[in-house]
């Protein structure tokens, strides 16, 4: 068996010649088709999105066309998230895209936070609307209105809703997947009888839905923490966040859960009668994750050769490639696809009439975890060649052992991706004690610094150099109940 360097080829120049399995001679390897990430990370990100056919810019500034392969990745994320959300007890519903402008203005902080990025419909049906309709930037307000209508008694609580929808926030500086004026997301909205119940539910979503999803499906080791007042959601009393580290050391907020206190309940008169027949305002929460996670996935796992998709959410886990048709190769390849599909593996056949090298590079760009290469030479030996995108290398495997080899590969690849990401994060995380040191550390990664020595003033000062407090954590990695607890640490970094 020959080993090839698939995982981390040298940047810039052409890759060193490699020896494919079964071939006794050197072959010319593909020159890099994308900008190396170490050379220009933003450029690399764009190259990956284009070459892996994930998305295109939309015709209106800030909008995005999600292409089939990119959308397939989102669908995988959706499915996994939806399962977890339902397991947490929330039910899906759908609320309208258009929201009366007056709803937004009912919660002072909320409207203040969102007004700069609202898209407002003033004309429709050929005339000026009596009341403008806001295109939802989030649905707290409409959902609050209806929750108020549905909740009468403590017996109606908790009310746990979720919706999959598009939302619009007019962006000044759009970036595919990370910041677009329209994006797709999931927004959960819940109402509870007590503050404690609301707090625990937001925490539950955060720690038992979001974080496990990111770790177990996306293979991303996120840091869970609490947002500072400055970074908190408009109208929330507390915001929890999952922060992921990207390949360039910058942070990306991958998901947030908010405790909204009684702010929205008050604004929408969401009250209920308690067991003792007293009127009380409900306590609400909201929580969301979006297509931004696709951007996070790219920037967390991608490498010189393109995207690397974690097996659990890979739309195509295994690409079975017909190397050269004839001698029963096509039939054998189809047989392997069927066998894998039967075993529950997302497998696809590649028998395109394009040069083999091109198809192999294409699969690498798209980050397909495993390729099964079937050619006459393999079949003559009763075997196939398995190429690994994440671990790298090619192995010859007997036909009868393909399903097992694939299963093993997919499971170890997930762990390998997670380990890579964790290693990078730990390597780039520095513990410091002064603002200057924090700023220095943030040039290449993240810094942790006692929150007591930062505070709102230090936070504002860091912001001048584009550095933000991503979240507050406790030394043991748990989430502080308040900013004022002892030993609270601030995680500071540059962020997307």
Partner RNA sequence: CGGGACGUGGCGCAGCCUGGUAGCGCACCGGCUUUGGGUGCCGGGGGUCGCCGGUUCGAAUCCGGCCGUCCCGACCA
Q: Does 117 bind RNA (CB under 7 A)?
A: yes
Q: Is residue 472 classed as helix, strand or coil in its secondary structure? A: strand
Q: Which of 84, 110, 169, 414 is close enough to bind RNA by CB under 7 A?
A: 169
Q: Does 189 bind RNA (CB under 7 A)?
A: no
Restricted to residues 45-64, the positions that interact with RNA (CB under 7 A) are: 45-46, 50-51, 57, 61-62
Q: What is the Cα–Cα distance from 46 to 31, expressed in whole angstroms?
A: 18
- Of 66-74, 169-177, 334-342, 479-487, the segment contacting RNA by CB under 7 A is 169-177
Which run of H or E residues covers position 427? helix 402-427
Q: Which two tokens stand for residue 414?
A: 């997930």
Give least dist CB 227 to RNA, A. 9
Q: Which two tokens stand for residue 259?
A: 């405790």
Nearer to RNA, 132 or 393 (CB): 393
Which run of H or E residues covers position 148? helix 140-150
Q: Which of 21, 205, 218, 300 is close enough to bind RNA by CB under 7 A?
A: 21
Nearer to RNA, 194 or 395 (CB): 395
Q: Which of 120, 132, 356, 444 is close enough to bind RNA by CB under 7 A?
A: 356
Q: Does 395 bind RNA (CB under 7 A)?
A: no
Restricted to residues 281-310, the positions that interact with RNA (CB under 7 A) are: 288-292, 305
| Cis before 281? omega within 30 | no
Q: Is residue 94 classed as helix, strand or coil in its secondary structure? A: coil
Restricted to residues 448-487, the positions that interact with RNA (CB under 7 A) are: 463-464, 466
Which run of H or E residues covers position 127? strand 127-135
Report how many residues bind RNA under the rule CB under 7 A: 81
Restricted to residues 432-451, the positions that interact with RNA (CB under 7 A) are: none
Q: Does 341 bind RNA (CB under 7 A)?
A: no
Q: Does 373 bind RNA (CB under 7 A)?
A: yes
Q: Which two tokens stand for residue 143?
A: 């959902």
Phi-psi label, residue 189: left if phi above 0, alpha if psi -120 to 50, beta otherwise: beta
Q: Does 188 bind RNA (CB under 7 A)?
A: no
Q: Which of 53, 82, 171, 197 is close enough to bind RNA by CB under 7 A?
A: 171
Restricted to residues 246-275, the positions that interact with RNA (CB under 7 A) are: 253-256
Q: Does 375 bind RNA (CB under 7 A)?
A: yes
Q: What is the Cα–Cα distance from 35 to 44, expressed in whole angstroms?
A: 5
Q: State the DSSP code for 495.
A: B
Q: Does 6 bind RNA (CB under 7 A)?
A: yes
Q: What is the Cα–Cα distance from 132 to 330, expressed in whole angstroms?
A: 60
Closest among 215, 414, 427, 420 to 303, alpha carbons compared: 420
Q: What is the Cα–Cα distance from 244 to 302, expressed in whole angstroms?
A: 14
Q: Does 234 bind RNA (CB under 7 A)?
A: yes
Restricted to residues 121-160, the positions that interact with RNA (CB under 7 A) are: none
Q: Does 324 bind RNA (CB under 7 A)?
A: yes
- Of 123-131, 199-207, 230-238, 309-317, the segment contacting RNA by CB under 7 A is 230-238
Handedness of CA 111, 115, 117, 119 (dihedral sign): positive
């Amino acid at each position: 068996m020959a080993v090839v360097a698939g995982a981390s080829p040298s940047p810039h120049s052409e890759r060193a010649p490699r020896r494919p399995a079964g071939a006794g001679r050197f072959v010319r390897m593909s020159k890099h088709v994308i900008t190396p990430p170490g050379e220009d990370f933003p450029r690399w990100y764009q190259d990956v999105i284009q070459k892996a056919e994930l998305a295109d810019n939309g015709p209106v500034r800030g909008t995005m066309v999600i292409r089939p392969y990119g959308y397939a990745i989102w669908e995988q994320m959706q499915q996994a998230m939806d399962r977890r959300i339902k397991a947490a007890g929330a039910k899906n519903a759908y609320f309208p895209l258009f929201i009366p402008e007056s709803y937004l203005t009912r919660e002072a902080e909320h409207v203040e936070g969102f007004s700069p990025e609202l898209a407002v419909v003033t004309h429709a049906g050929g005339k000026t609307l009596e009341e403008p309709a806001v295109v939802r930037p989030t649905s707290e307000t409409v959902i609050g209105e209806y929750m108020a209508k549905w909740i009468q008694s403590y017996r109606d609580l908790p009310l746990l809703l979720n919706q999959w929808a598009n939302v619009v926030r007019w962006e000044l500086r759009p970036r595919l997947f990370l910041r677009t004026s329209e994006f797709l997301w999931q927004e959960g909205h819940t109402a509870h009888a007590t503050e404690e119940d609301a707090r625990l539910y937001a925490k539950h979503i955060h720690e038992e839905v979001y974080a496990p999803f990111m770790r177990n499906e996306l293979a991303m080791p996120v840091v869970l923490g609490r947002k500072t007042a400055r970074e908190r959601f408009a109208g929330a009393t507390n915001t929890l966040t999952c922060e992921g580290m990207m390949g360039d050391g910058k942070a990306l907020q991958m998901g947030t859960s908010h405790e909204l206190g009684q702010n929205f309940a008050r604004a929408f008169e969401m009250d209920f009668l308690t067991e003792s027949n007293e009127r009380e305002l409900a306590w609400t929460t909201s929580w969301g994750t979006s297509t931004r996670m696709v951007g996070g996935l790219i920037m967390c796992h991608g490498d010189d050769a393109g995207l690397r998709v974690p097996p659990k959410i890979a739309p195509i886990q295994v690409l079975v490639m017909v190397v050269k048709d004839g001698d029963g190769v096509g039939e054998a390849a189809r047989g392997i696809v069927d066998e894998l599909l039967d075993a529950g593996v997302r497998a696809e056949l590649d028998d395109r009439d394009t040069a083999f090298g091109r198809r192999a590079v294409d699969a690498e760009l798209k980050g397909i975890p495993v390729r099964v290469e079937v050619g006459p030479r393999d079949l003559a030996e009763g075997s196939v060649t398995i190429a690994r995108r994440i671990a790298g290398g090619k192995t010859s495997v007997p036909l009868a052992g393909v399903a097992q080899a694939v299963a093993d590969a997919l499971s170890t690849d997930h762990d390998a991706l997670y380990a890579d990401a964790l290693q990078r994060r730990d390597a780039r995380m520095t513990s410091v004690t002064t603002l200057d040191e924090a700023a220095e550390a943030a040039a290449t990664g993240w810094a942790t610094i006692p929150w007591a020595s930062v505070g709102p003033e230090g936070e504002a000062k860091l912001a001048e150099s584009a550095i933000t407090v991503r979240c507050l954590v406790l030394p043991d990695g748990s989430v502080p109940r308040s900013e004022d607890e002892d030993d609270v640490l601030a995680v500071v970094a540059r962020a997307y």
